[in-house]
């Protein structure tokens, strides 16, 4: 079977296909024929050696895939050949708090990933594909959608909550869709006017094009009548945190997810003076994934797919994601 790997060194020039023996499931494992995978910003970091420069190579890339069960180990009762399944980002995080062991079970970094024709999953590392979704749609869920779901749920329920979402990438578009489904008021920032139109069409209540209005924290403050937003879905990281702390209300929340602006320092005084709660998010557990899927099914929500590449075009899919022109998710169909 073919797998898409980074080998011989990091960087996109070292992305390649590799022929590997077909994997055989162990007693507690499930063999899945992958039908679609989706890419995340994290995959770019892994491929470039920026996620973990000590990662042993070659490494199969990708954390998110959906497909059909083709074989099960003798200890597997819950899954049958032919089941439509989607993998969990963490193979060993079933529920409850994240542990070190569970944190090391993420696909596509510490473990080989899912950009391969056949992949073995733990029997606890799969959930059923929501009935209304295709393989391509389901493959978008494990990382981006579960992360967005947990970021929105962390502050608790609030009838009049205003959420500020940065950008229009994978996590952010799920956050927009899910927040609207929760009847939140949603403010979106984006670098591009074209993407602002898409965000509005997807239900954003107001959109700030940061190329025209760099002081988006003031914009957000004004949008809330000088109160500040209840929650910021923070994907920028160190480079945007200080603005987020200005945009958030006293006693508000920041869901700290991303590192798009790169490593760096920020002044935390705003969090102290405004008594802001910062929730670090690391995707979520299998239990979180199941509650997300129940919500998607109940509301018949469908992921936003920007573009689907063929497996043979996997490298082009990485380059496309890295160029940053997408809205929502980039998918590779197998
Ligand atoms: N902690 C976790 O569990 C977790 C899970 C998933 C992702 N992440 C992180 O979250 C971030 C987003 O991931 P993704 O897969 O959704 O990425 P993505 O699909 O590549 O989307 C990134 C989008 O964010 C916007 N953006 C780019 N640079 C930015 C910056 N400096 N500040 C603010 N916004 C910026 C852009 O949207 P516009 O062009 O519209 O501005 C861009 O398209 C990444 O840092 C990723 O590592 C973390």
Express each pLDDT in 214-225 by its tens digit.
999 999 999 999
Q: State the CB neighbour count (10 A cutoff) for residue 151.
A: 29
Ligand 1 atom nearest 283 alpha carbon: 3
pLDDT average, residue stretch 52-60: 96
Q: How far apart are CA 176 and CA 182, in angstroms?
A: 10
Determine the pLDDT at residue 156.
81
For the chain, give the percent of residues with pLDDT over 70.
100
DSSP state of 247: H
Determine the pLDDT at residue 150.
97
Q: What residue owns the CA closest to ligand 1's atom 33?
A: 236
Residue 159 has pLDDT above 90, yes or no: no
Q: What does the mean pLDDT of the chain come to?
A: 97
pLDDT band at 132 (very low <50, low <70, confident <90, very high): very high
Ligand 1 atom nearest 40 alpha carbon: 15
Pocket test for ligand 1, best of 45, 98, 150, 171 (most atoms within 8 A of CB): 171
Q: Indicate the SS3 state at residue 58.
A: coil
Residue 308 has pLDDT above 80, yes or no: yes
For the chain, domains (ranges, CATH) are: 2-142+284-333 (3.90.180.10), 155-280 (3.40.50.720)
Burial of 250 by CB count in 10 Å (0-12 exposed, 13-18 middle, 19+ buried)?
exposed
Alpha carbon of 235 to ligand 1 centroid (Å): 5
pLDDT average, residue stretch 22-47: 98
Element (H, E) at 120: strand 118-122
Beta pairing partners, 2: 19
Q: State the CB neighbour count (10 A cutoff) for residue 19.
A: 7
Residue 160 has pLDDT above 90, yes or no: no
């Amino acid at each position: 079977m073919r797998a898409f790997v980074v080998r011989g060194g990091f960087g996109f020039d070292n992305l390649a296909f590799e022929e590997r023996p077909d994997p055989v499931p162990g007693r507690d494992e499930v063999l899945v024929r992958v039908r679609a995978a989706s890419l995340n910003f994290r995959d770019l970091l892994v491929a470039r050696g920026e996620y973990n420069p000590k990662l042993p190579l070659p490494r199969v890339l990708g954390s998110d895939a959906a497909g059909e069960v083709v074989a099960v180990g003798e200890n597997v009762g819950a899954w049958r050949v032919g089941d439509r399944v989607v993998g969990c980002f963490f193979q060993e995080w079933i529920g409850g708090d994240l542990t070190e062991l569970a944190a090391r079970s993420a696909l596509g970094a510490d473990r080989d990933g899912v950009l391969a024709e056949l992949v073995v999953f733990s029997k606890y590392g799969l959930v059923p594909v929501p009935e209304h979704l295709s393989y391509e749609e389901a493959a978008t869920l494990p990382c981006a959608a579960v992360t967005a779901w947990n970021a929105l749920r962390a502050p608790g329920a609030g009838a009049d909550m205003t959420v500020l979402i940065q950008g229009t990438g994978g996590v952010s578009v799920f956050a927009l869709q899910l927040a609207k489904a929760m009847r939140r008021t949603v403010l979106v920032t984006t670098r591009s006017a074209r993407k602002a139109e898409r965000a509005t069409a997807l239900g954003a209540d107001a959109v700030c094009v940061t190329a025209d209005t760099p002081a988006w924290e003031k914009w957000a403050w004004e949008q809330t009548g000088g109160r500040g937003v209840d929650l910021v879905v923070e994907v920028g990281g160190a480079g945007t945190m200080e603005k987020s702390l200005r945009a958030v209300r006293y006693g508000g929340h920041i869901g700290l997810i991303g590192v798009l602006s790169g490593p760096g320092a920020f002044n935390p005084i705003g969090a102290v003076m405004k008594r802001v709660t910062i929730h670090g998010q690391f995707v979520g557990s299998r239990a979180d994934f199941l509650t997300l899927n129940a919500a998607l099914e109940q509301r018949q929500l469908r992921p936003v797919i920007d573009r689907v590449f063929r497996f043979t075009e996997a490298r082009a899919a990485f380059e496309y994601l890295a160029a940053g022109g997408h809205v929502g998710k980039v998918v590779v169909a197998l």
